[in-house]
Amino acid sequence: MPSSSYSSDEEVEELPYVPFSQRPEWSDVRPVPQDDGPHPVVPIAYTEEFRDVMDYFRAVYVARELSPRALCLTTEALKRNPGNYTIWHFRRLVIEALNSDLIEEKLFVDKLAEGNFKNYQIWHHKRWLAEKLGPEASEDEHDFTRLMLCRDAKNYHAWSHRQWVLQKLGGWEKELDFCNELLKEDIFNNSAWNQRYFVITKSPLLGGLSAMRDSEVDYTINAILQNPNNESPWRYLQGLYKGTPDSFIIDERVPRICLQVLKEYSFCTFAWNLLLDVLCKGLKPTKEIEEAVKGLTESDESGSSDHNLVTRICSALERMDPIRVNYWSWRKSNVSINC
């Protein structure tokens, strides 16, 4: 890490800014101003501090100076512009050249990330650090992503980082419980549903989708009954049968939950969509399914004489779901191909 002759991260924040031209340790460096050309179309009004820091950064970058003072300089530059890829790249070169303390680097990055939790470059740097620290970093990384997700449950960067940590560094033991916790707080959290599917299909501890399917179907059906208009569990339920169409058809729980919901919510498009899919996969219509379709389409003159349940459902969905009318029309026109 930087020697005692250079400012720490805390000192950079607390002390008033001193121009580099007034810092004795930088007296040998000639700053490199930004060149926007002779006639910049839209010149940016940088602050004097920002301009000063970047002029000196360009100087050490051009000189490829991998020194403690260069590391401190990148700290000041990143606090003013944490999205600059070149600064992050150069900082990694300096850290490797100096064999810097990675734990201290992690503390700096985590603090910077708290105020910039959607900054791609910060997450990229965190991944680089975690990979160097190894499995011992997994718990801290999971704790950090949990903190970020408390602030923004749909933060793509945090979810992506969490999945990477799981696959590269471990920590699978508590991940399904984490998903349970998030979905208990908000059953509409589609990111948590996505993470749950990631866990049951990727975790080396759970045995894969086939081993988890039965219990997951029960869990998902319970979630559907909590709020049938929540699309996420409907999609999740269908995903549980990915690659196994026979299981999709054989499992009586699939048409049963559709019909159970439709008895109370006859215009639930998610239930009709799932029922349509299972019929297209080869489910033989039962009398209860036929009666449900009849009840839905009896007022639809265009479909009243159509004996094909699939096309009748599609016709009804064209009316119930006008935003996707072209999709339902396409499915109806391709019944013989898709079903």
Q: What is the pLDDT of residue 42?
A: 80
Is 174 part of the annotated catalytic residue set?
no
Residue 196 has pLDDT above 90, yes or no: yes
**Can you give the pLDDT at residue 7?**
38
Task: Report how far residue 298's alpha carbon sits from residue 286's, in angstroms, rounded to the nearest whole number.
Answer: 18
pLDDT band at 160 (very low <50, low <70, confident <90, very high): very high
Q: Which of the two residues, 136 and 10, has the higher pLDDT score?
A: 136
Predicted local distance difference test score (pLDDT) of residue 313: 93
DSSP letter string, 37-85: -SS-SS-----HHHHHHHHHHHHHHHHT--SHHHHHHHHHHHHH-TT-H
Instruction: Convert the pLDDT of each residue in 16-44 to its tens digit.
Output: 899 999 999 999 999 999 887 787 788 77
Taking the C-alpha atoms of residue 163 and residue 161, their distance in angstroms, rounded to an integer, is 5
Kindly state the average pLDDT of the residues 146-175: 96
204-238 pLDDT, tens digit per residue, is: 999 999 999 999 999 999 999 999 999 999 999 99
From 79, 106, 111, 118, the catalytic residue: 118
90 close to 61: Cβ distance less than 8 angstroms: yes
Reply yes or no on whether the pLDDT at 304 is more than 80.
no
Q: What is the pTM of this model?
A: 0.86
Per-residue b or e along 82-121, where b marks 16 or more CB atoms closer than 10 Å to that residue's CB: bebeebbebbbebbeeeebebeebbebbbebbeeebebeb
The pLDDT score that the predictor gives to residue 298 is: 64
269 vs 301, higher pLDDT: 269
DSSP-derived secondary structure letter, 99: T
Mean pLDDT of 128-137: 96
Query: Nearest CA to 56 among 40, 68, 42, 74?
Result: 74
In this prediction, residue 38 carries a pLDDT of 81
Quick: pLDDT tens for 65-113: 999 999 999 999 999 999 999 999 999 999 999 999 999 999 999 999 9
Cα–Cα distance list, 119 to 78, 110, 114 (Å): 12, 12, 10
User: Residue 14's pLDDT is what?
Assistant: 61
The dihedral sign for the CA sequence 293, 299, 300, 303 = positive
User: Whole-angstrom Cα distance, residue 279 to residue 38?
Assistant: 68
Q: Structure tokens of 64?
A: 């490829």
